[in-house]
Amino acid sequence: MTIEETATARRIARFWPVVSASVAVVLVIAVGALIAFRPSEPFALDVRWMNEVIEHREPYWTIPALVMDFLGGGLFGVVIVPTCTILALLLFRRPWGALYYALAAALSAGVVQALKLTVGRARPEDILVHSDLGSFPSGHTANAATIAVTLGIIFLRAWVWAAGTVYTVLMLLSRTYLGAHWLSDTAGGLLLGAGLAVVVWAPFAYKVLAERSRPHRFVLAR
């Protein structure tokens, strides 16, 4: 295969994931618009799910849910986790991966906050934690999905994808368990975080691939 044919094949392989991710982002925005212009009552599925969650609340579920709340939000989730992730990628000589992750995380957080302010959805009444205004979409879940997809793309290892998937699902479940979000909020956060991570990946695809294809060693500055 010639260099031109290889480049064309890579563009085609990149095209459909980006299209799918863009559709996911547009779908989240459309759902947000629907929530903003419909009556204030939540969707029927949201109500049924929340009723089930409240019925099955137990102390041994509450503690891990609160741990997930800490990991995904506040100063720790918004500042410390992204900063440590960027530094770790730089130490492993993945500067393009670090830049890609930083931009994806920043864009995801920015879009989430814009939608929260625009949609203005009320949170469930049976909430167990203190949260800011705006329920749709879930920032915790969007952040988790962004981390999962960006690191999965950067390292392209099955265990990284598996760990990211488990982390995102646990975050999604914890947000509804704590009553911080409706189920549709977490679904929106998942699609938004993952979709934006793939969209931002497109211009960095070749650079990230080049970093992934050469050996890397942990390096500390001397």
What gap in Å lies between CA 198 and CA 162, rounded to an integer? Answer: 17
pLDDT the model gives residue 161: 96
Is the Cα dihedral 96, 70, 111, 27 positive or negative? positive
Is the Cα dihedral 213, 14, 162, 81 positive or negative? positive
DSSP state of 61: H
CA distances from 144 to 68, 107, 172, 185, 209 (A): 10, 14, 9, 14, 23
Provide the CA 61 distance to its chain's centre, in angstroms. 23
Residue type, 161: W
What gap in Å lies between CA 156 and CA 159, rounded to an integer? Answer: 9
pLDDT the model gives residue 31: 93
pLDDT, one tens digit for every residue, the chain (222 residues): 454 544 544 554 567 688 888 899 999 999 999 999 887 778 999 999 999 999 889 888 999 999 999 999 888 988 999 999 999 999 989 999 999 999 999 999 999 999 999 998 999 988 999 888 889 999 999 999 999 999 999 998 999 999 999 999 999 999 999 999 999 999 999 999 999 999 999 888 888 888 876 655 555 544
What gap in Å lies between CA 162 and CA 36, rounded to an integer? Answer: 34
pTM attached to this predicted model: 0.88
What gap in Å lies between CA 176 and CA 3, rounded to an integer? Answer: 49
What is the enclosing helix (H) or strand (E) of 40? none
153: left (phi over 0), alpha (psi -120 to 50) or beta: alpha
Rg (alpha carbons) of the chain, rounded to whole number: 19
Residue 43 DSSP SS3: coil
Q: Where are the domains of the chain?
A: 3-212
pLDDT the model gives residue 222: 45
Q: Which two tokens stand for residue 63?
A: 């503690």
Q: Do you know the residue count of the chain?
A: 222
pLDDT the model gives residue 211: 84
Q: Which fold has domain 3-212?
A: Vanadium-containing Chloroperoxidase; domain 1 (1.20.144)
pLDDT the model gives residue 206: 85
Q: Which residues contact 111 (CB under 8 A, 6 or more apart)?
A: 25, 192, 196
